[in-house]
Copies of this chain bind each other. A is one copy, B any other.
Amino acid sequence: MEEVRLLGCWSSPFSRRVEMALKLKGVEYEYVEEDLVNKSQSLLHYNPIHKKVPVLIHNGKPIAESLVILEYIDETWRARYQLLPSDPYERAGARFWAKFISEQCMPTLWKACASSDGELMAEAVSHLARLEDELKGKRFFGGEAIGLVDLTAGLIAHWLPVIQEARGNDKLLITRESFPRLTKWSEEFCGVDGVRENLPDKEKMAAVFRMMFAPAMPNDPAKYVPKV
């Protein structure tokens, strides 16, 4: 009997992208919510290096780092739904964009939202413009169906608008006018079965982000740069 367990956090886009992948693949799993302020022994044991969610535990063996987990899921449950294309060149393209989103877009977007710094905002916009270009003539980053890149970009579709609103930025980065393809992609992505039921409640998230960005908050929000 196969045992699949996920240590996650309801508000984490990294944890949610793994849940989406499991749902798309139709893999049954047990979900364990982690309290990141008071991490469980289980989390510290299974991810001693990063001590972060998500961690997938498959038949007792842990896998950490969301992008590594997504590739593991794709290779382990091969027959059901494909997260990466079969062709090596197309796979390389998907990995390139997933890396770009994780390592360039997400940290810049987070820092830009946290600081409202003009230069960072401009950099964030230029990254988003790259993604807008990449969507040319495509429904999803993965083509006709969502794949690794779409799951990686989930933050842009669902989390970013909430963060921006909580932060009180009056100039939203993504609008129908500024990024029509990303807007359309966001709407379609959020409606896909497997994704829709894994999008955390916006009100609940907004409360968390408002607290995080409150002026009295002793911590520097820039420290919260999400890690993949």
Can you pick out 28 interface pairs between chain A and chain B where the beta carbons lie within 8 Å of each other? A49-B100, A49-B130, A58-B89, A61-B89, A63-B89, A63-B92, A63-B96, A64-B96, A65-B96, A65-B99, A67-B95, A67-B99, A68-B92, A68-B95, A68-B96, A68-B99, A69-B92, A71-B91, A71-B92, A71-B95, A72-B88, A72-B89, A72-B91, A72-B92, A75-B88, A75-B91, A76-B88, A103-B103
State the copy count for this chain.
Answer: 2
How distant is the Cα of A67 from the Cα of B95 in the complex, in angstroms?
Answer: 9
How distant is the Cα of A96 from the Cα of B47 in the complex, in angstroms?
Answer: 11
In the complex, how many residues of chain A place their beta carbon closer than 8 angstroms to a beta carbon of chain B? 23
**Chain B residues, Cβ within 8 Å of A68:** 92, 95-96, 99
Per-residue B-contact encoding for A112-134, CB less than 8 Å = 1, 0 else: 00000000000000000010000
How distant is the Cα of A72 from the Cα of B88 in the complex, in angstroms?
Answer: 6
**Chain B residues, Cβ within 8 Å of A64:** 96
